[in-house]
Structure 1
Amino acid sequence: MRAIEIQKTGGPAVLQLVERPRPELTGPDDILVRLMAAGVNPVDTKIRANGALLPAGFPLVPGCDGAGVVEAVGADVTRFKPGDEVWFCHGGLGGPVGNYAEYICLDNHLAQAKPHALGFAEAAAAPLVLLTAWEALSDRAGLAADQTVLIHAGAGGVGHVAIQLARLAGARVCTTVSGPEKADFAHALGAEYCINYREEDLVHAVMEWTGGRGVDVALDTVGPACFRQTIPAMAAYGNLVTILDPGPDLDLKEARVRNLRLSLELMLTPQLRDLPRALAHQGEILRRCGKLIDSGELKIHVSQTFPLAAAAQAHQLLEAGHVTGKLALTID
């Protein structure tokens, strides 16, 4: 089968199209999936640049997100049959199991039935960001109806689904964007107020929007500087969640005075630590998101697709920044 392989860390040029053996069923609970598309995520670029997250290491087939058609099933599989369409977040963290390829073999319990409303590219682009946003807002922050929430980078991959999930929870949403087009996009998703971070002071804008109270919940999808800037924009007893390392030089005096709950969100933890119950919980999140998608309440925006052989171009675009929504690889 064709696959993208990384043999050493480096820039996008280390992504090489190669021929690899097609994976085979190894256990009674496995399914073999003919991949139709793979999501492209920032974690893929970080693994390419910095190294594998699992001991299997290199050579590595990247790609955490996939969607495709079940080709074969193990003896004990009753949830799926050949021809079923599935989506999932699995692989891409080290070794030969990843979704930048024509086939992948995985435990059937890690996959869910693909939403009917999504094409394969949209379905492949969705799992990681959906799981991240849901876990951050619901599991970490306990977001509730009528709360105010700040979503950073609302036009980005995690941000654009986080806005929608927060609105579905009954919250009021403000978000940061880089310009008018991104603001129009975020408003269409349900954001009530958009802050142009290039032109406006974050804290002043948030306090104006909340009548001086600050937001109940904030989701940082940008990094350490953004995390620090958000602390004085929080309401007392608020929840601030980051999906990135907040950095070593944190002054948390103001966070302590405000009695904030600070949370870290990494949806890859169940894979990295082999946590079956957490993986099952993520499966339930995907199932529930699928229902919201099929009912028209939740949308996935893919701004651009690339053929498998052009994975390096997708990484270049993602690392250049300011992608609206998600990118995906289509596998012919």
Structure 2
Amino acid sequence: MKAAILKTLGQPLDIEEMPAPEIGTGEVVVDVAAAPVLSYANEVFNGERRYNIGLPMVPGCGAIGRVRTSGPDATHLKPGDWVFCDPTVRSRDDALMPDIALQGWSARGDGGMRLQRHYHDGPFAEQVRVPTENAIRIGEIDPGDAARWCALNVVLVPYGGLLAANLLAGEILLVSGATGNFGSACVATALAMGARCVVAPGRNERALADLERRFGERVRTVKLSGNEDEDTKRMREAAPGPVDCVIDLLPPSATTTTVRAAVMAVRPYGRIVLMGGVGMLGGAGLDLPYPWIMRNDIVVRGKWMYPPEAVTRMTGLIRSGLLDLGHFDVTTFALDDANAAVSHAAANGGPFRMTVIRP
């Protein structure tokens, strides 16, 4: 099969023929129809993000495809089923504290690297081998829509945070990083889940105006000034009531003061979910006042990715019409043009924009 292979950090992907994956027990081989290219893929491939990866590797993070073959442990999957290939691979030998790797992308700790050595290659290829539980059925789709269904890869990340926050219909949510790729997807997802209002702070006025245009009065935008106390005050004032929950999705380049300004806008007895990348490249940690957290009964939770059942629930939100994939503008590339796709994704990131490879 043909694949795009990352052999050395800082070097272009090599487009080559390689052996097709061989199935084992507990595994599924999927014919890849579409694989998203994350906007920061170039930062992973040149080493800037400092991800733990073993090279050479076929990269990629998530895909839409059709089941080619499944192992004897599969009781529902059958050849031809449309599936989302969830890149979040969890070890099966410790239910309480599973190791996690993102297939074709990154690993966490020694256990994650062991997982990555087995589930090594991602979906920038004609076929990909995944654990049985990671090939999740999405129902019949038009093959021409496969690239747009790659939006699952974007919306599932903030959805995991909103599930962890137990966001309820009628609540007010503040999305820190709302003008980014994952942040804008979080706005759309929270509204689909029934949020009364989403407060969307940011510095990009064009992106803020676009959120207002797309979603109307249920989104209240706030132009950030850089003054922490003033920004916290303005975010509170923008909300139609007390802010029930804050979710942070800011990238590594953001400052901790920007995170804290949003976090401090939450009401007493409110919840905070941290999903962003602040601090991943070094620098100061997030300093929050102990008395404020304790006396106001604030819940602070970190969350990475999403639970396995989130894919099926998100598919339901999409098929019901509550979450419209039509918001996403998709540019596709052939596998032979994988390097051009990586460059395009870096130059064209942001709200509701996707770059997709179609093997």
Q: Give the TM-score, by structure 1 length.
A: 0.81
Q: Does 1:250 align with 2:281?
A: no
1:163 lines up with 2:199 in the alignment: no
Q: How far apart, in 1, do the equivalents of 2:35 and 2:349 lie?
A: 20
**8 Å Cα contact 2:180/2:351 also seen in 1:** yes
- The CA distance in 2 between the partners of 1:258 and 1:43, in whole Å, is 37
Residue by residue over 1:12-34, the C-alpha shift from the partner in whole angstroms, topping out at 9 and shown as x without a partner, is x432322221111122x322111
- Matching residue of 1:278: none
Give the aligned partner of residue 220 of structure 1: 248
**What residue number does 1:263 align with?**
301
1:229 to 247, 261, 266: 261
Return the alpha-carbon distance in structure 2 between the equivalents of residues 310 and 19 of structure 1: 15
User: What's the counterpart of residue 324 of structure 2?
Assistant: 299
SS at match of 2:245: strand
In 2, are the aligned partners of 1:3 and 1:19 still within 8 Å (CA)?
yes
The Cα of 1:193 is off from its aligned counterpart by: 1.1
Q: 8 Å contact 2:247–2:274 — kept in the other structure?
A: yes
Which whole-Å deviations, capped at 9, do the CAs of 1:215-258 have from their partners, x for residues lacking one?
22112111452312213322223222221244333321275365
Letter in 1 for 2:311: L
Alignment of 1:280-291 (within 5 A): 281-282=307-308, 284-291=309-316
Change (3 A) 1:130 1:302: same
Q: Which amino acid aligns with 1:239?
A: R
2:38 aligns with 41
Distance verdict in 2 for CA 1:45–1:202, change over 3 Å: farther
1:130 aligns with 2:155: yes
Corresponding residue for 1:313? 340
Residue 181 of structure 1, CA deviation: 5.3
Matched letter for residue 124 of structure 1: C
Q: Is the 8 A contact 1:114 1:123 kept in 2?
A: no
Pick one of 202, 206, 231 that aligns with 1:202: 231
| Secondary structure of residue in 1 paired with 2:221 | strand
CA distance in structure 2 between the partners assigned to 1:179 and 1:199 by the alignment: 14
- Shift, 1:198, TM fit: 6.8
**Distance apart, 1:47 and its partner CA:** 3.4
Deviation of 1:58 (Å): 0.8
> Hey, what's the Cα distance between the residues in 1 that align with 2:208 and 2:331?
16
Paired residue for 2:100?
Answer: none
- The one-letter code sitting in structure 1 at the alignment partner of 2:124 is Y
1:153 touches 1:176 (CA, 8 Å); kept in 2? Answer: yes
State how many pairs are aligned: 311
Residue 92 (structure 1) aligned with residue 107 (structure 2): no
Q: Structure 2: where are the runs of 5+ without partners?
A: 88-102, 106-115
Cα deviation for residue 52 of structure 1 reads 4.7
Aligned residue for 1:79, secondary structure, equals coil
* Superposed CA RMSD: 2.9
Confirm or deny: 8 A CA contact 1:182 1:324 kept in the other structure: no
Alignment partner of 1:324 is 2:323:
no
Does structure 2 retain, via aligned residues, the 8 Å contact 1:35–1:104? yes
Per the alignment, in what secondary structure is the counterpart of residue 184 of structure 1?
helix
Match of 1:147 in 2: 171
> Does the CA-based 8 Å contact 1:217-1:239 persist in structure 2?
yes
2:128 maps to 104
Alpha carbons of 1:75 and 1:43: their partners in 2 closer, same or farther (altered >3 Å)? farther
Alpha-carbon spacing, 1:73–1:232, altered in 2? closer, same or farther (3 Å):
closer
SS in 1 for 2:121: coil
Amino acid at match of 2:343: Q
The 2-side partners of 1:199 and 1:303 are apart by 33
Tell me, yes or no, if the aligned pair for 1:239 and 1:261 is still in contact at 8 Å: yes
1:307, distance to aligned residue in structure 2 (A): 2.5
Q: Deviation at 1:135?
A: 1.8
Query: Taking every aligned residue pair, what percent have the same amino acid on both sides?
Result: 25
Secondary structure of 2:158 counterpart:
helix
Determine if contact 1:317/1:323 at 8 Å carries over to the other structure.
no
Given that 2:338 and 2:357 are in contact with CA atoms closer than 8 Å, whether structure 1 keeps it comes out as no
Matched, 1:68 2:68: no
Q: Which segments of 5 or more consecutive residues in structure 1 lack a partner in the other structure?
A: 269-280
Alignment partners' CA distance in 2, 1:152 and 1:218: 7
Secondary structure in 1 aligned to 2:234? Answer: helix
> Structure 1 167/113 Cα, relative in aligned 2: closer, same or farther at 3 Å?
same
CA contact (8 A) 1:156 1:324 kept: yes
Q: Secondary structure at the match of 2:150?
A: helix
